[in-house]
Structure 1
Amino acid sequence: MKRHPFRLALSAVAVAAVCVTLSGCAGAGADRSVRYSGEVDGGTIAEVRYDFVDGPNGAISLPANPGGPTWSKKLDGGHGPRLVVMPSADGVARCELTAVGSKKVLDSAVGQPGKPVVCHAEIATD
């Protein structure tokens, strides 16, 4: 039986949601909600790739193709949220990871024209 890529990605997200719901996976009780944000000046976002909810089997990494100049998503960042923003053509990409509860900027970066930019943070667990 041929597997559809969307169903596989959806299954990975469902497994992560069950892990977080049932056991918290790591750092139970810790609020690790992170706002992942990307934008491109002088172009659009060609692609983003974001890592989140790192349970006992590691982080989940998913792509998105927003096609516009901005993108953001609020997720459980796990121990090591990571965001890669790839601009189109000669656009300049920016990324930012922000703790939702405290509004503390965990990491931010600005790239070079036409080059991807990466934001990454380490979140301590209880």
Structure 2
Amino acid sequence: MLKAALPISALLLLAGCASNNDSPANRTVWVEDGPPVNCINRNQVRSFRVIDDRTIDFERNRNQAWRNNLPMRCSGLTFGQAIQINSRTSQICSFDSITPRSMGSGPNAMRCQLGQFQPMKRVPVPETKPAG
């Protein structure tokens, strides 16, 4: 089971570090890196990040990830939330589901279907020259 839970102090520390590296030379964006796939190997996933109630990034490393756009909104899934991956194999596939986890969520919590995994890579933001 993968979990994305950091103490609030760690989140604040990370936010502070991010704001100090916001110079144009350090800005990056995620772009698609090949066709979507149905499954990824669980052991290649270092961490994950819930973006919103339909989007989860499964990170391979700092510069590679798979973006999963759920086919339907997942009620109760919010930014930064922990999830349980409901898979019985060494792979995570589009036919598997996730369960949002929060304090007090019980065994009957809602399950949400995963979609295909879009490979993504981080690239530098192209510099734009000032007009004039």
TM-score (norm 1): 0.31
TM-score (norm 2): 0.31
Higher strand share: 1
Relative contact order higher in (CA < 8 Å, ≥ 6 apart):
2
